[in-house]
């Protein structure tokens, strides 16, 4: 199993914190960076093959990854267009890594290893990790699911119609990698797709008649750092739960 971490963006919504460092290297508490929490969770699941898609402050991320090369097989994919495109282009640039089974992970996710363990169990070609909350907001990547399948995924899903949220972690296996690669190859030929989220490709895959399943997780087992309140909440969680000690003590 391979993990592909999408972390090329500039993280402007966290300015001034991310003015000089990439979001992946933001301190989430007790000296641990966001990237390090991801690597520790993946290591706990036995995943050693890592593809890191980078762009903004790439040299800093590469320097941090050097500390982990004894634990992981790390491949770097650089997106030189990170300032002028959205993450659909970042994912497309890593398409040569889409072989066998792999998981894509948003670079601003912090997650418990149990989410990955459960996702790995899915036999389906494409499986998204989702959660269910009491309420959603306009910035949530909301989903509508019916009979165990994702039918719609977008921030534009009306909050009153949403019955789940995309966590930003997706597994591809079997026919899934080719389905995804073919869709990305088709989409990048349209200039209008240069500034869209990669989840538009997932929606297009659904629209084309392919099934997208989901693996539901507890909303307390993950977090996404987009805005300053998100970071403050994560840091409070890390402090209250001794997350750093638990991560570092795990084999």
Between β-strands 142-146 and 149-154, what pairing exists: parallel, antiparallel or unpaired?
Answer: antiparallel
- Per-residue confidence at 195, pLDDT binned at 50, 70, 90? confident
Instruction: Write out pLDDT tens, residues 179-188.
Output: 999 999 999 9
What percent of the chain is modeled with pLDDT above 90? 80
Q: Which fold has domain 2-223+230-249?
A: Spore Coat Polysaccharide Biosynthesis Protein SpsA; Chain A (3.90.550)
Most confident of 86-90, 109-113, 209-213, 247-251: 209-213
Instruction: Write out pLDDT tens, residues 102-159.
Output: 999 999 999 999 999 999 999 999 999 999 999 999 989 999 999 999 999 999 999 9
The 3-state secondary structure of the chain reads CEEEEEECCCCHHHCCHHHCCCHHHCEEECCEEHHHHHHHHHHHCCCCEEEEEECCCHHHHHHHHHHHCCCCEEEEEECCCCCCCCHHHHHHHCHHHCCCCEEEEECCEEECHHHHHHHHCCCCCEEEEEECCCCCCCCCCEEEEECCEEEEEECCCCCCCCCEEEEEEEEECCCHHHHHHHHHHHHCCCHHHHHCCCHHHHHHHHHCCCCCEEEECCHHHEEECCCHHHHHHHHHHHHHHCHHHHHHHCC
* 106, β-bridge pairs: 6
Cβ-based neighbour number of residue 216 at 10 Å: 16
Whether pLDDT at 198 is above 80 = yes
Instruction: Write out pLDDT tens, residues 3-18.
Output: 999 999 999 999 999 9
The CA–CA distances, whole Å, from 212 to 71, 130, 151, 190 equal: 32, 12, 8, 24
Backbone angles phi, psi at 145, to 5 degrees: -115, 145
More confident residue, 62 or 233: 62
The per-residue pLDDT for 251 is: 42
- Per-residue confidence at 234, pLDDT binned at 50, 70, 90? confident
The CA–CA distances, whole Å, from 45 to 3, 4, 114, 195 equal: 11, 14, 8, 33
């Amino acid at each position: 199993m391979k993990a592909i971490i999408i972390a090329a963006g500039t993280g402007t919504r966290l300015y001034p914190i991310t003015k000089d460092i990439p979001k992946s290297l933001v301190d989430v508490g007790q000296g641990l960076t966001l990237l390090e929490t991801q690597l520790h969770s993946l290591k706990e699941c036995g995943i050693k093959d890592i593809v890191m898609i980078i762009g903004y402050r790439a040299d800093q991320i590469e320097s941090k990854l050097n500390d982990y090369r004894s634990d992981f097989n790390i491949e770097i994919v650089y997106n030189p267009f990170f300032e002028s495109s959205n993450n659909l282009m970042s994912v497309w640039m890593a398409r040569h890594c889409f072989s066998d089974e792999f998981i894509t992970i948003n670079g601003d996710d912090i997650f418990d290893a149990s989410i990955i363990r459960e996702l790995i169990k899915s036999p389906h070609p494409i499986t998204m990790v989702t959660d269910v909350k009491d309420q959603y907001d306009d910035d949530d990547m909301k989903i509508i699911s019916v009979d165990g399948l994702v039918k719609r995924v977008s921030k534009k899903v009306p909050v009153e119609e949403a019955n789940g949220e995309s966590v930003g972690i997706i597994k591809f296996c079997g026919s899934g990698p080719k389905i995804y690669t073919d869709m990305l190859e088709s989409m990048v030929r349209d200039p209008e797709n240069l500034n869209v989220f990669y989840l538009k490709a997932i929606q297009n895959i659904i629209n084309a008649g392919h099934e997208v399943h989901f693996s539901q997780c507890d909303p307390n087992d993950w977090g996404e750092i987009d805005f300053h309140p998100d970071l403050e909440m994560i840091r409070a969680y890390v402090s209250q739960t001794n997350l750093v000690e638990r991560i570092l003590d795990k084999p």
